[in-house]
Amino acid sequence: MSDSEEPQQKTVIGIAFGNSNSSIAFTSPDGKAEVIANEEGDRQIPSVLSYVGDEEYHGAQAKSHLIRNPKNTIAYFRDFLGKSFADIDPTNAHSSAHPIQHESGVAFSVEEKTDGEPSTLTVSEITTRHIKRLQESASDFLGKKIDGCVITVPTDFSEAQRRLLAEASKASGLEVLQVIQEPVASLLAYTAREETSHPADKTVLVLDIGGTRTDAAVIASRGGMFTLLATQHDYELGGRQFDDALIDHFSKEFIKKHKTDPRENERSLAKLRLECEATKKTLSLSTSAQISIESLAGGFDFHSTVNRLRFDLLSKKLVDQIVGLVESVVKKAGMDLSDINEVILAGGTSHTPKIASRIQQLFPSTTAVQAPATNPNALNPSELSARGAAIQASLIAEFEAEDIEQSTHPAVTVTPHLAKPIGVVIHSPEGDEGKAEDKVYVFLDAETAVPARRTATFVGTNVGGDVLIRIVEAKKESVDVTPPKEVKEKTADEDDEDDDDDDDDDEEEEEEKVIKRVTEVEKVIAEALLKDVKKGQKVEVMLNVAGDLTLTITARVVGGKGGIRGTVPGRAQ
């Protein structure tokens, strides 16, 4: 194979394959994932192919052909892969080559030769050509042949669609090592950035606002392992709808001046759509943007400006819809908004500052919202999937295909997850106040996959003596912590006016309720007694839950000898 003495290093990439845009990324030798720009300098490469004469155009070049050559330009084809013609929604493909019925499902008819004979290209074939171009861009950039890739797909992609995608890629000469889910890739892009071998346990919402669809997923991240708890999709909500809001706004302005509606002419609409998308992108970075189109309709040029405030107003309904989707997916996971520790905003539309600020308002201030508008250290939302895929590709690059197959098999992925949080309550001798007494310290949160183990250190006692450690299953509850009446009376001046309009006191109180999530003991599993702990000594507790739910506790004084160890057998035994 290789004529050098060095062990053969495989060159692998991550591919984010989207309906609107695709991107490619690789992992540099120092372990950092980087997104690759194609020869046109684009990191977000439009998933568009266009045929003019004998030439094939790809990416941004092909996208610009949507104006002059829409019938031979193929766009928004990913979601058609592996679908029957009856099951697809062709709306987005209306302004480009129309999907047609084919024995394999969906195809397109385009003229790809100068002789003018139209050829029928299946969605699989288009996917193959698209991946081939992406692969060439990556190969040119890295100066090496690409040996394999990891591709991301939405969570609602079926097994058959994943298999077809892998086959389409293989037909382009690029081996797919693994097909992974978009939200999981985005989460991996963030967790890989944390410089710790023990990532924090947290529940994460990944909100992927793309061009033609929006996908939300709630993921339990426990010990660096991820479990999808709930997903939800909206196929009529995305960047295109935000573009539409601008298109309508500018069209009205144009009609006022020239009495012609640019939306009524296909070519004018295509021009307007392309420019509105660019204007929208500018509005994510600055507070005002210009739009300028030569000969938009009826031979008239169009110049105008729009500020961000106006755009926020135009798109308010869409942002409300996004908020609705978030609330709905959290509910589907059986959770409360305050149970979400982190929100990751992914997808191109997540650059919109208003979306990030509305999401931040929706969640308690303790919830981290990862978006450029709310966190200056956030990663680029458009690059998350590709980065995650590149990281995963580098992790499995040296694996044999059989190893990957076995490691991703359901026999390995289907795992028992804890139904309840497991923690300890530390009781120490009487008179010992102001410590963690009667508070549940959660070691292993609900939805943690087993086997798992966690260790924590406590100050055992402030007075010296025996320390009682209770291992408990906990429950999270919403508790009303509304401040008592007397506190409220301080603001009586403000309330007075309300009282006049509204006689019903109860209703008013309900509005002011403050709900807090607390962790309480559900049942005590076992107790352990650690004898003769001296004042101020630290106690280290380790909990280990085995695959059969056998729980082992080890508790000892830090630096001391002995300690106690106990085992609660799993039910199966």
Window 129-188: residues binding another protein (CB under 8 A): 178, 180-181, 184-185, 188
Distances (CA, A) of 560 to 104, 228, 261, 339, 544: 70, 41, 83, 38, 21
Q: Out of 269, 318, 369, 450, name the contact with another protein by CB under 8 A.
A: 450
Of the pair 173, 569, the CB lying nearest another protein is at 569
Distance CA 422, CA 550 (A): 13
CB 503 within 8 A of CB 458: no
CB 451 within 8 A of CB 546: yes
Interaction residues for another protein, span 334-393 (CB under 8 A): 388, 391-392
Q: Counting contacts by CB under 8 A, is residue 231 touching another protein?
A: no
CB of 523 to another protein, least distance (A): 5
For residue 434 the two structure tokens come to: 């102001």
DSSP state of 197: S
CA 263 to chain CA centroid, Å, is: 34
Span of 122-130, 164-172, 309-317, 523-531 interacting with another protein by CB under 8 A: 523-531
Q: Out of 52, 60, 171, 228, name the contact with another protein by CB under 8 A.
A: 228
Span of 52-60, 335-343, 379-387, 527-535 interacting with another protein by CB under 8 A: 527-535
Of the pair 314, 463, the CB lying nearest another protein is at 463
Of the pair 179, 245, the CB lying nearest another protein is at 179
Of the pair 86, 572, the CB lying nearest another protein is at 572
Q: Counting contacts by CB under 8 A, is residue 395 touching another protein?
A: yes
User: In the Cβ-directed half-sphere of 546, how many Cα atoms lie within 13 Å?
Assistant: 12
Q: Counting contacts by CB under 8 A, is residue 492 touching another protein?
A: no
Q: Counting contacts by CB under 8 A, is residue 429 touching another protein?
A: yes
The vertex-103 CA angle with 102 and 105, nearest 5°, equals 60
CB of 25 to another protein, least distance (A): 15
Q: Out of 530, 539, 541, 557, name the contact with another protein by CB under 8 A.
A: 530
Site size for another protein, by CB under 8 A?
A: 76
CB 180 within 8 A of CB 389: yes
Q: How many CB atoms lie within 10 A of CB 488?
A: 15
Of the pair 355, 396, the CB lying nearest another protein is at 396
Span of 86-94, 348-356, 426-434, 494-502 interacting with another protein by CB under 8 A: 426-434
CA 41 to chain CA centroid, Å, is: 25
CB 350 within 8 A of CB 344: no
CB of 408 to another protein, least distance (A): 4
Span of 49-57, 128-136, 350-358, 528-536 interacting with another protein by CB under 8 A: 528-536
CB of 535 to another protein, least distance (A): 11
Task: Single out the residue of 89, 389, 125 nearest to residue 233, CA to CA.
Answer: 89
Interaction residues for another protein, span 67-96 (CB under 8 A): none
Q: Out of 413, 455, 457, 478, name the contact with another protein by CB under 8 A.
A: 413
Task: Single out the residue of 120, 128, 139 nearest to residue 17, CA to CA.
Answer: 128
Q: Counting contacts by CB under 8 A, is residue 551 touching another protein?
A: yes
Span of 7-15, 287-295, 494-502, 543-551 interacting with another protein by CB under 8 A: 543-551
Task: Single out the residue of 207, 133, 209 nearest to residue 173, CA to CA.
Answer: 133
Q: Out of 1, 86, 412, 492, name the contact with another protein by CB under 8 A.
A: 412
Q: Counting contacts by CB under 8 A, is residue 560 touching another protein?
A: no
Task: Single out the residue of 72, 47, 82, 375 nearest to residue 211, CA to CA.
Answer: 47
> How many residues are listed for the chain in this entry?
573
DSSP state of 70: G
Cα-atom radius of gyration of the chain, to the nearest Å? 29
For residue 168, give the H/E element and its range.
Answer: helix 159-171
CB of 366 to another protein, least distance (A): 24
Q: Counting contacts by CB under 8 A, is residue 468 touching another protein?
A: yes
